[in-house]
Amino acid sequence: MAETIGPAAAGGDLLFVGDIYCDLVMAGVSAPEIGAEVFASGFAISPGGVANRAVAAARAGAPTRLLSRLGEDPLGREMRVMLAAEPGLDTSWITCVPDRQTPITVSLTSPENRSFVTYDEDLGPLDLPAGAGPVGAVHVGIATELPAWVATLRAAGTRVVGGVGWDSAGVWSRDVLDRLAEIDVFVPNDIEAMRYTRTDSALEAAKALAERVPLAVVTRGGDGVVAIDSATGVVTEISAVPVDVIDPTGAGDIFVASFMAAERYPDWDLTNRLRFAALSASLSVRRLGGAVSAPRPADLRRFVDQARPAGNWSFLGSHSTTPTQNGES
């Protein structure tokens, strides 16, 4: 039976924009020495990249659209089938690019370490389809200049959430901070935040970011999350819920997507939205893969009932569970 944690607020779907990867995850193994062979203790195949966020948002109960591309190859076809099977996720804006290989990442993972081997090809620019209709919130990367349609959506009332990835060049350009004026919420991890702001702690980084963006949310892995609302200056710190870690792949993506989905419930304050997102991210690391490990509201309630984590989690059960198309029980 399908369900959601409550009636969605008005304002359009959530939109996630970026590249989809085919993730091949090998568990319990490190990168082998030259000429050596190692054997994994587990394996999973999962849509990755932007699909981590899109699937997590749909499973959290938000009607979700995914704007992306796939190559016309066997991996691309498999990714499309897997994504199309997700209730609440609209995949009609995924285009297939002829004679191109779908990006692929092989992840060698353990609870402590991860190594990646990635191959990708440029599949071309992403443009918002004409007549897209209202969009409640959109997630975009701000490591490079934003496309013009982001400003158009924002002017129409869309909430723009930005993220960044690891800067492999080690530049950590201040231009990224200048782009914070073009978004409403910024959600980096602590290392990214400290590198861009040239600070020494997640809290100091969040304070520096809040001078430039209405809401700064800095994730800290097993140490939780810190957020600052620039309008009030209030600092909100949330602890992570301890779990047995199998694979941390995609936990940050699942956090931001769940946070965006939680904002559709206006009776939840910032603290509860952050706790919902943090718990979703925590539960995702108990399984292999990113998108395929994203939890549903029923998973959260079941975990709280069984594990009894610290704190008051009654807000998870404060909404109706009328069956909808947005998630499965």
Q: What is the pLDDT of residues 180-211, one digit of tens each?
A: 999 999 999 999 999 999 999 999 999 999 99
Ramachandran sector of residue 123 (left: φ over 0; alpha: ψ -120 to 50; beta: rest): alpha
- 151 assigned to some structural domain: yes
Domain count, the chain: 1
- 323 assigned to some structural domain: no
- 6 assigned to some structural domain: no
- Residue written as tokens 């984590």? 309
- 7 assigned to some structural domain: no
Domain that holds residue 200: 13-32+40-118+133-308
- 288 assigned to some structural domain: yes
The pTM of the full predicted model, rounded to 2 decimals, is 0.88
- 326 assigned to some structural domain: no
- What average pLDDT score do residues 56-66 get? 95
Sign, CA dihedral 52-55-61-66, equals positive
- 126 assigned to some structural domain: no
Distance of CA 156 to the CA centre of its chain: 24
Give how far Cα 276 sits from Cα of 50, 134, 244, Å.
20, 25, 18
Q: Residue 222: pLDDT above 70?
A: yes
Distance CA 311, CA 299 (A): 17
Check which CATH number belongs to the domain holding 47 and give it. Answer: 3.40.1190.20
Using alpha carbons only, what angle is made at residue 101 by residues 31 and 75, rounded to the nearest 5 degrees? 75
Q: Residue 174: pLDDT above 80?
A: yes
Distance of CA 313 to the CA centre of its chain: 22
Give how far Cα 267 sits from Cα of 7, 301, 318, Å.
11, 18, 10
- 164 assigned to some structural domain: yes
- What average pLDDT score do residues 108-126 get? 81
pLDDT band at residue 112, thresholds of 50, 70 and 90? Answer: low
